[in-house]
Amino acid sequence: MKKPLKTKLRKAMWVMLWIIVVLVAAVAIFVNQPNFGKAPSGARLERIKKSPNYRDGSFQNISITPNFSPDRNIFGLMYDFLFKKVKDLRPAKDIPSVKTDLKNLGSDDALVWMGHSALYMQLSGKKFLVDPVLVSASPLSAFNKAFNGASKYQPEDLPDADVLILTHDHWDHLDYNTMLYLKDRVGKIICPLGVGAHLEYWGFDPNKITELDWHEQTDLGSGFMLTALPARHFSGRGFVRNKSLWASFMLQSSFGNIYIGGDSGYDTHFTAIKKRFGNIDLAIIENGQYNNDWKYIHLIPEDLIKAVKDLEPKRLFTVHNSKYALAMHAWYEPLENISTAAAKDSIDLLTPMIGEVVHLKDSTQIFTKWWKDYM
């Protein structure tokens, strides 16, 4: 005898309910892994609430900043990202790179790019690390894999550093495994408001952590001053956004002014930074993982040129490229675009390979267009 229709429907509903419960539980377990970090709370949250950049329960940009262009939504973007074919999205062969021994670099003022936005700098004997993502730029190691040839540097290749600078808490700028390695190997950690909550949760000494709001400064000693400055971006490692701040930084020393741009779309802050600091000896600005659909939070090529013209740096180095495919453009496109623009506008552009030493006091150093063989 056939079961009544109501009984079958009731059974199907219970099955669906259990599936939903299991999925919700799985997601809850997943996002509560240690690598997702912790949201600010307690005294840290009370300080955040007093920030002029924190309103209506979250940090805000200077200008209204949509996540996507008005005519797009997350579902359309996900469809394009998963199914749209992009020529040369990833390199067909290993990209060229070198493995410089960072622990035995001598005393020269130097910069070494480790791919994407990860940097090692030494200036007047002081050692800096910036956004060192060397293990994983994603909560799932199977996704967002680095290009072949772009991962020569691992955490154990890093020297002990005097200062670790973090621009924001996105996965491709704050790597849990690299942070665990560096936990007892850095003297000071400078980061935007709220990011310290992740670090303390991961076991960092809170006395080493300095969190800055935009326009706040910290004296690093030996004539070094670091100022947190605005950027046009967002934050978050899970489903909740903008509970911590994002920032760019100006590093001032006897060497000169070095601007570390972090991730940012175009806005008025570039002009304001130039007006405040005047001479900028080196600007390190994002160039890559852009798309018109999210042009408010990353620099599309034409906006990168506008930002450079606003800042008027003596020398330019662009990052956020050549390691991960996070947007729908050929992997070499960012470097080719800025190289062409630099030749046209007489911009002193640095284009080292991953791992190649940039001698910061050598204005005659020449770099090849190493990506040309892949076009």
Tell me how far apart the alpha carbons of residues 175 and 118 are, in angstroms, rounded to a whole number.
10
Q: What share of the chain is helix, strand, coil (3-state, %, to 5)?
A: 30, 20, 50
Instruction: Please tell us whether the domain made up of 102-374 is placed in CATH 3.60.15.10.
Output: yes
Q: Under a CB-based contact definition with an 8 Å cutoff, are residues 260 and 294 in contact?
A: no
Query: How far, in Å, CA of 271 to CA of 266, rounded?
Result: 10
How much of the chain exceeds pLDDT 70, in percent?
91
Per DSSP bridges, beta strands 217-221 and 209-212 are: unpaired
CA pair distance 274, 278, nearest whole angstrom: 5
Split at pLDDT 50, 70, 90, the class of 249 is very high
Residues 198, 31: Cα–Cα separation, whole Å: 14
- What mean pLDDT is reported for the chain? 93
Phi, psi of 174 (to 5 degrees): -135, 100
pTM score, two decimals? 0.92
Bridge partners of residue 362, in order along the sequence: none
Per-residue confidence (pLDDT) for residue 1, from 0 to 100: 43
The model's pLDDT over 44-74, given as tens digits with 9 standing for 90+, comes to: 999 999 999 999 999 999 999 998 777 766 6
Report CA-CA distances (Å) from 6 to 1, 2, 3, 13, 18: 14, 11, 8, 10, 18
Domain boundaries, the chain: 102-374
| Residue 255 CB coordination number (10 Å) | 18
Residue type at 51 in one-letter notation:
S
Query: Would you say 312 and 342 are in contact if contact means Cβ atoms under 8 Å apart?
Result: no
Distance CA 344, CA 195 (A): 39
Per residue in 185-241, pLDDT (tens digit) is 999 999 999 999 999 999 999 999 999 999 999 999 999 999 999 999 999 999 899
SS3 342: helix
- Buried/exposed code over 182-210 (b: 16+ C-beta within 10 A; e: otherwise): beeebebbbbbbbbbbbbeeeebeeebbb
Q: CA 111 to CA 56: how far, in whole Å?
A: 40
Residue percentage of the chain with pLDDT more than 90: 83
Q: What is the C-alpha radius of gyration for the chain, rounded to an integer number of angstroms?
A: 22
